[in-house]
Structure 1
Amino acid sequence: MNETNFIDMLNCPQEYMLQAGGEYELISEMSFLRSIVKYKNCKIIIYGAGQRCEYLISWLKMENVPVEFVLDQDIKKHNHKVNNCIIYHIDKVPEELRGKKYLVLVSTVYYETETKKILYALFQNGLKNIIYPFDKQYNLAPYRYDWAYYYLHHKDELLQIYKELEDDRSRDILFEYVKALVTNCVYRGGHSKTCNKYFDEYIPLENENFLNIGSYVGDTIFYFIENRQEQFEKIYAVEGESGIYQRLCENIAILPRVLQEKIELTNTYLNATNSKYYADKKITLINMDIEGMEKEVIVGLSECIKKNRPVLAICAYHKPEDIVELPLLIHEIVDNYKIKFRKYAPPYSNHLENGELVMYAIPAERSKEEK
């Protein structure tokens, strides 16, 4: 995949929707929406007046699908506007609007689990003529709109990252990843083996000092120990959630004493401040999977990174801006690092193919391509 294809995809995603195939294309869903509005003589309303709603309205406008009004349960938002659409509290919809026919789109993070409750609440508040068309066959995954909106409004930054990537495989993965999100299609790029996640794109060290941030129950630690054939100097394992941390401790206790003694366990959520604890530690490898806090923690680890020049293997799929801001941040902190992307999760469903994208930031002296 070349630079021209990448630019074309960002400038005209509709063309790639038609090429992608599969059953989940956004273009089909928008046609379906427009048909319902036309043939059922109804108006579109959105439930949930958060950031997802703002992006969803923008996307619908681009597709010439107008929104009548927005509903929310937060009384403070009543009579305010989001993206020029009026917001009504669910209990305060004007009487003259209650008898009309509406197609409701749910834009909250509770889309999967709360839809029935939301529709029942609408019915109880007099909005009885509701069409809710999106079941498993027609399912607008709301989080996609903020991702698509971000990418289509940051084309220059995306192109910069694309051109600076270390290898063609990374460029192909980035192309397919962004395409899946701006077209609402299934990710069709390549995947690497999960057992190699964080460990297969750089030259390993015999005396690796591994900072494992977001250790969960220890799965990555066990992968690491197996991958390095038990040869390492130190593991710093950090997990914030107390219940999961307890399971982590129990799992580490399975290991031989000689390995346990080389593992330092910490129950905390790292941030830009407390991550400075590692500034004076010898760290040669860092991985993070911390639900969107990656950028903040990298900032906190900047002195550690400058001093030690570790390999970084960072999850880059929790926020749409991760694939742009994380590589740029690494280049701000330290020179002569190579950036790669690798994708690990198989496409189990239409909701998960933007997951398990890892950014590798590799110092030139540990890059396989340099040797």
Structure 2
Amino acid sequence: MSNSLKLFLENQLEFFNQHKRVAVFGAGSGGQQVIEWLRKSNITVCRVYDNDPTKHGIPVCGVEVFTPNKQIINDYPVVIASTWNKEIKQQLSELACTLFIDASITGLSNTPITSDWLTQLKWLEEQLVDDDSKLVLEDIAHYLEQPEKGMPKAKYEQYQHPKLHLIKNATIIDGGAFDALSSINLHHHYGLETKVTAFEPDPGNVLKCKQLIANYEHKEKISLIEKGVWDKEETLYFNSSNSVHGASSSANSQGDIQVPVTGIDIALKGHKVHMIKLDVEGAELKALQGAKKTILSDKPILAICLYHYFDDLWILPKYIKELNPKYRFYIGHHTNNWFETVLYAI
């Protein structure tokens, strides 16, 4: 594993091994996820800070939210859990905070932080085929340390890795179509004879999909399924795109809408699938589990987003390898910030 990433994770491990009672800075959705992750890691969250006065005094995950100030900021070590991490670091310095760490990305994980993370990331690096992919892990380390400096982007477009080649009349799954622009781009890039089946559950986004597809000159090649991809057929609560300011919708038991979801194995039963693209806001593992039979039988190319949970960096590749150890892995990154890291499995 890259020395930079190893050192970064060792520093995080040391911090959380030494400090079992902390305060969290950030009362939003990210902060709530980090609080749950800290609890999984046997760390007690004693206080929450946030700059939004409307949140002060209101419990988040059972912990009261306070205004950050010099009188109380050093009562506990501070764990940053917000996309405003750069600004919060500056604020903590101005408040003379003596001990804090940024877990705004690593804290978005399903597994507790242990030394096993180092083992898993080393495994991932050993599975990567080329140096460009391994360099992405180095770039991730630099970004985690200094997010304000940004992150290099791949020279190729997202979901269009140069090693990906499809037959002329391939069937492509676009899991998490959002507004269907990704579906159109996939169809245009991989050939006009390809067929794209797009999945999108959010009603607001479905309208956008229908409008964009209707105006596409090859609209007959793109079909839209108004469901999310999951491991089975059911109905879930979702945070709609409206509730998260136009971002992609995501499964959440406290969500503001209910939407139908299905498995790729169910929806595409009897159809051969040549490529599966997934950007489903943290439901990638569930979606892969719902495509198990398809992956085993058709061996499709996979383009799977890895950035929604930090530990998806190894959890998703490991699941794919368990299904078929012959898959070869590449990683590409497609924005200058944390988002849009993609696993390409061939």
Aligned length: 283
1:269: which partner in 2?
A: 228
SS in 2 for 1:331: helix
Distance 1:243 1:68 in 2: 36
Equivalent position to 2:169, from 207, 211, 235: 207
1:315: which partner in 2?
A: 305
Distance 2:131 2:125 in 1: 10
1:95: which partner in 2?
A: none
* Alignment gaps of 5+ in structure 1: 18-25, 31-43, 62-66, 78-86, 92-98, 116-130, 347-352, 363-371
Any idea what the Cα deviations from partners look like across 1:65-122, whole Å, max 9, x if unmatched?
xx99414733883xxxxxxxxx5x459xxxxxxx98122868566x75xx9xxxxxxx
Distance 1:248 1:285, change over 3 A: same
* Alignment gaps of 5+ in structure 2: 16-21, 49-56, 233-261
Equivalent position to 1:305, from 268, 277, 295: 295
CA contact (8 A) 2:151 2:338 kept: no
Distance 1:102 1:54, change over 3 A: farther
In the TM superposition, residue 329 of structure 1 has moved relative to its aligned partner by: 0.5
CA contact (8 A) 2:160 2:189 kept: no
In the TM superposition, residue 314 of structure 1 has moved relative to its aligned partner by: 0.6
Distance 1:196 1:264, change over 3 A: same
CA contact (8 A) 1:150 1:320 kept: no
CA contact (8 A) 1:288 1:315 kept: yes
TM-score w.r.t. the length of structure 1 is 0.64
2:184: which partner in 1?
A: 222
Q: Which amino acid aligns with 2:204?
A: G
1:250: which partner in 2?
A: 211
Equivalent position to 1:171, from 112, 122, 134: 134
2:270: which partner in 1?
A: 280
Distance 1:90 1:215 in 2: 36
TM-score w.r.t. the length of structure 2 is 0.68
Distance 1:140 1:251, change over 3 A: farther
CA contact (8 A) 2:304 2:342 kept: yes
CA contact (8 A) 1:45 1:102 kept: no
Moved more, 191-200 or 323-332: 191-200
Equivalent position to 1:158, from 81, 97, 121: 121
1:92-241 to structure 2, matched below 5 A, reads 101-103=71-73, 133=92, 143-146=104-107, 150=113, 153-181=116-144, 183-185=145-147, 190-193=152-155, 195-232=157-194, 234-241=195-202
Identity across aligned pairs (percent)?
Answer: 19
Distance 1:106 1:154 in 2: 19
Confirm or deny that 1:52 pairs with 2:34: yes
1:39: which partner in 2?
A: none
Confirm or deny that 1:357 pairs with 2:319: no
Structure with the larger helix share:
1
User: What's the C-alpha RMSD, in Å, of the aligned pairs?
Assistant: 4.2
CA contact (8 A) 1:239 1:245 kept: yes
CA contact (8 A) 2:38 2:45 kept: no
